[in-house]
Amino acid sequence: MSQKKQGRLIVPPTDEKLKKRLALKLKEYQERISGKGKPWEYKHPELAHSLYEGHRDACYKAHVLEAVLKSDVPVDSWKLSLEVAAIWGKDFNVDDFKIACGVIDKYCGNLPDEPAVGGTGLPELIE
């Protein structure tokens, strides 16, 4: 009998202000993916994921954050990794994906006592 795998569970935030900040961060990731001003904007954009760590980083963080923002229940990073691996195939980088999950988990407020593992921080809301 095979054992069901489970990864880190990323609990979606309930605080509305934090959700808005995370939505802004998702837009930032999407802009990074587009590559404006980055080498993958004009040099082999079809190879961006395999050639540029910055592209992979933005893709993984955007995918994780989008899943968390759309969910009302904890998101299983193992299941999510299978989805992302199916998208990127042999170019999927599990270590980069794990880092992305840790950053998003921290941004969601779930790891207050753990040191930051990367990321540029959340944007402030302009009200």
pLDDT band at 97 (very low <50, low <70, confident <90, very high): very high
- Total tally of structural domains belonging to the chain: 1
Whether residue 1 lies inside any domain: the answer is no
CB burial of residue 116 (10 Å; 0-12, 13-18, 19+): exposed
Q: Specify the DSSP element, H or E, that contains 75.
A: strand 75-76
Of the pLDDT bands very low, low, confident and very high (cuts 50, 70, 90), residue 126 is confident
**Full-model pTM:** 0.86
| Inter-CA distances, 22 with 47, 60, 99, 115, Å | 28, 15, 17, 19
Please state, for a pLDDT cut of 70, what percent of the chain lies above it: 87
> Residue 114 falls within a domain, yes or no?
no
The answer to whether residue 8 is domain-embedded is no
Answer yes or no: are the C-beta atoms of 98 and 58 closer than 8 Å.
no
Q: For 55-67, write each residue's pLDDT tens digit.
A: 899 999 999 999 9
Alpha carbons 99 and 122: distance in angstroms, whole number: 16
Task: Give residue 57's domain range.
Answer: 13-107
Tell whether 78 is covered by a domain: yes
Sign of CA dihedral 103, 21, 70, 40: negative
Domain-located, residue 67: yes
